[in-house]
Amino acid sequence: MDFLIITIVAFTAAILTFFSGFGLGTILTPVFMVFFPVELAIGLTGIVHFFNNIFKLILVGRNADKAVLLRFGIPAVIAAFIGSWLLFNIPDASPLFSYEMFGKTFEVYPVKFIISLLLIAFASMDLLPFFNKLQFGKDKLSIGGALSGFFGGLSGNQGALRSAFLIKAGLSKEAFIGTAVVVSTFVDFTRLSVYATKFTRAGLNENLAIVLCATLAAIAGAFIGNKLLKKVTLHFLQVVVAIMLILISIALGAGLI
């Protein structure tokens, strides 16, 4: 049952992720956590996410905007290393607040709560007509890269902030997706390199079969997403990103993920 559920979620999330530039790790991690300890779930998700990015890199990496890639990607990689290092070298943060719902206790941590507020602000820009033509200047891309990379290394939530900035960078839909994939791949490589020693002890070797199933499902989803790309418009892409940003923001802010 765990194989089937994780495979279906990986396939579906990969299709959505192809358009939005984020979501696979955010959606897949809680599903893995149902069947595995938290540390192992993060490791398994990270591997699936990385190899799915490698496949997408082959499909659309050539469409990346080189100028945006340099301004956004380099700060993202540097900040991802810092965030990943901090994750294992700072004491566990205390919950900002907690509450009970449906017989369960949910805890909201400061980092995720801050990310949720940032994402809601960015998402609102895509849904309000006043902000439709707003674009971030090239000087803001470095800030966006640093923010997305840092929070990616620290909490694993990198894609939403990355998409929030890149969707306003004046890119075509192909360049937006290609640039997001290249940045995501390098950030994944950076953070997984830092996580490596801890993940090795978590028991990854015993669960290679389920990682393989989830990875193949995610690759299949990315392949279908690439085929559907020609049928969507940039405006549709912006709306999808905005809606997913808000949904993920609410889930983060409520302590659900």
Q: Which residue has the higher pLDDT, 125 or 186?
A: 186
What are the tokens at 207?
């669960």
Q: Give the model's pLDDT for residue 74.
A: 93
Q: Tell me the pLDDT band of 253, cut-offs 50, 70 and 90.
A: low
The per-residue pLDDT for range 5-25, each reduced to its tens digit, is 888 888 887 887 776 666 677
- Give mean pLDDT, residues 221-237: 74
**DSSP-assigned states of every residue in 80-148:** HHHHHHHHTTSPPPPPSEEEEETTEEEEE-HHHHHHHHHHHHHHHHHHSGGGTT----HHHHHHHHHHH
Measured distance CA(35)–CA(65) in Å, rounded? 39
Backbone angles phi, psi at 101, to 5 degrees: -155, 135
Q: Give the model's pLDDT for residue 182.
A: 92
Look at the block and give the residue holding tokens 């979501």.
Answer: 23
Which range has highest mean pLDDT (18-32, 179-193, 219-233)? 179-193
Measured distance CA(257)–CA(240) in Å, rounded? 20
Q: Which of 166, 110, 123 lies closest to 141, judged by CA?
A: 166
Each domain of the chain, given as residue ranges in start order, spans 2-253
- Give mean pLDDT, residues 175-203: 80
pLDDT higher than threshold 90 for residue 78: yes
